[in-house]
């Protein structure tokens, strides 16, 4: 685990830590990686990205596929940006079914990449939407967006230097 990459996975002060989606299918095709079980609730002391989970992904890189993790991160960032837009639009129009669908696949993808805090927030948003609790879903969406900004920053730094 190169120290430069380890530092890139943490925020200064370390304050922030089924149905198969495209990321999960890609990882399953590459090896025996297993997504971590969620340990909810995660605290503010958890890292933005869990280093053990991310190290497991790095272990799947091969000579035949040296950009495997890069490709997964780029796919996640693109899909999560799109998904957040879908969730926001769905919540604004009162379409909790669409908010549920959009958050469902993102929770799995976030966890597979080690963004466990984001995974928990997506899960809570998903459950609120499924239960018809629009106010709770809207509040959780704000938290998801804030955490996603942190995850995007960490992954972007890794992509630039990793």
What confidence tens digit (pLDDT) does each residue in 13-46 have?
332 333 444 444 444 444 443 444 444 455 567 8
Measured CA distances, 96 to 90, 100, 102, 141 (Å): 6, 6, 10, 12
Do the Cβ atoms of 47 and 17 come closer than 8 Å? yes
Q: How many residues does the chain have?
A: 162
More confident residue, 121 or 34: 121
Q: Which residues are within 8 A (CB) of 9 and not within 5 positions of it... i.e. 6 or more apart?
A: 47, 48, 49, 51, 54, 114, 154, 158
What confidence tens digit (pLDDT) does each residue in 84-111 have?
999 999 999 999 999 999 999 899 999 9
CA dist 43 and 153 (Å) reads: 20
What confidence tens digit (pLDDT) does each residue in 38-53 have?
444 555 678 999 999 9
Q: Buried b vs exposed e over 8-37: b needs ≥16 C-beta within 10 Å?
A: bbbeeeeebbeeebebbebbeebeeeebee
Phi and psi for 35 in degrees, rounded to 5? -65, 145
CA dist 66 and 42 (Å) reads: 32
Measured CA distances, 78 to 1, 31, 85, 96 (Å): 26, 23, 11, 22
Mean pLDDT score across all residues of the chain? 80
Do the Cβ atoms of 108 and 35 come closer than 8 Å? yes
In 3D, which of 157, 8, 3, 5 has the Cα closest to residue 77?
157
């Amino acid at each position: 685990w190169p120290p430069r990459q380890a530092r890139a996975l943490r925020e200064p002060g370390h304050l922030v830590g089924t149905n198969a989606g495209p990321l999960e299918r890609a990882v399953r095709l590459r090896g025996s990686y297993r997504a971590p079980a969620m340990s909810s609730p995660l605290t503010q002391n958890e890292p933005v990205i869990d280093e053990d989970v991310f190290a497991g992904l790095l272990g799947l890189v091969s000579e035949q596929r040296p950009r495997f993790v890069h490709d997964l991160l780029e796919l996640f960032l693109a899909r999560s940006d799109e998904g957040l837009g879908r969730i926001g639009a769905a919540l604004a129009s009162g379409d909790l079914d669409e908010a549920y669908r959009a958050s469902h696949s993102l929770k799995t993808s976030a966890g597979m990449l080690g963004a466990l805090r984001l995974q928990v927030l997506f899960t809570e948003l998903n459950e609120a939407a499924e239960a018809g609790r629009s106010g709770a879903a809207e509040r959780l969406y704000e938290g998801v967006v804030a955490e996603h900004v942190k995850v995007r920053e960490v992954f972007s730094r890794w992509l630039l230097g990793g």
